[in-house]
Homo-oligomer: A and B are copies of this chain.
Amino acid sequence: MSVLALSGGVGGAKLALGLYRVLPPDALRIAVNTGDDFDHLGLRICPDLDTALYTLGDLEHREQGWGRRDETWTMMRVTEALGGETWFRLGDADTALHLHRTQRLRAGERLTSVIAGIASRFGIRAAILPMTDDPVATRVTTDAGDLAFQEYFVRRRCEPRLRAIRFDGADRAHATPEVLAAFADPGLEAIVLCPSNPYLSVDPLLAVPSLRAALVARRVPAIAVSPLIGTNAVKGPTAKIMAELGIESSPAAIAAHYAGLIDALVVDDVDRDAAATLPVTTFATATLMKTLADRTRLASFVLERARELRR
Contacts and interface: CB of A to CB of B under 8 A. Distances in A.
B42 A103 contact: yes
A72 interface: yes
A23 interface: no
Contacts of A42: 42, 99, 102-103, 106
Contact of A75 (B93, B118, B122): B93
Interface in A76-124: 76-79, 81-84, 91-93, 95-97, 99-100, 102-103, 106, 117-118, 121-122
A27 interface: no
Given A92-B92, A106-B42, A99 B72 contact: no
Interface residues of A, number: 31
A78 B93 contact: yes
A14 B79 CA distance: 26
A82 B50 CA distance: 14
A71 interface: yes
Given A42-B102, A103-B42, A106-B42, A96 B75 contact: yes
A247 B47 CA distance: 56
Given A72-B72, A92-B92, A121-B83, A78 B97 contact: yes
A41 interface: yes
A252 interface: no
A77 B68 CA distance: 14
A43 interface: yes
Interface in A113-148: 117-118, 121-122
Q: Sort A-B residue pairs by CB-CB distance and give the 10 closest, nearest first.
A: A78-B96, A74-B92, A92-B92, A42-B103, A72-B74, A75-B96, A78-B93, A79-B96, A75-B92, A82-B100
6 contacts: A41-B103, A72-B72, A74-B96, A75-B75, A81-B121, A82-B97
Interface of A: 41-43, 70-72, 74-79, 81-84, 91-93, 95-97, 99-100, 102-103, 106, 117-118, 121-122
Given A82-B118, A82-B121, 14 more contacts: A71-B74, A72-B74, A74-B74, A74-B91, A74-B92, A75-B99, A78-B97, A79-B96, A79-B99, A83-B117, A83-B121, A84-B96, A92-B92, A92-B95
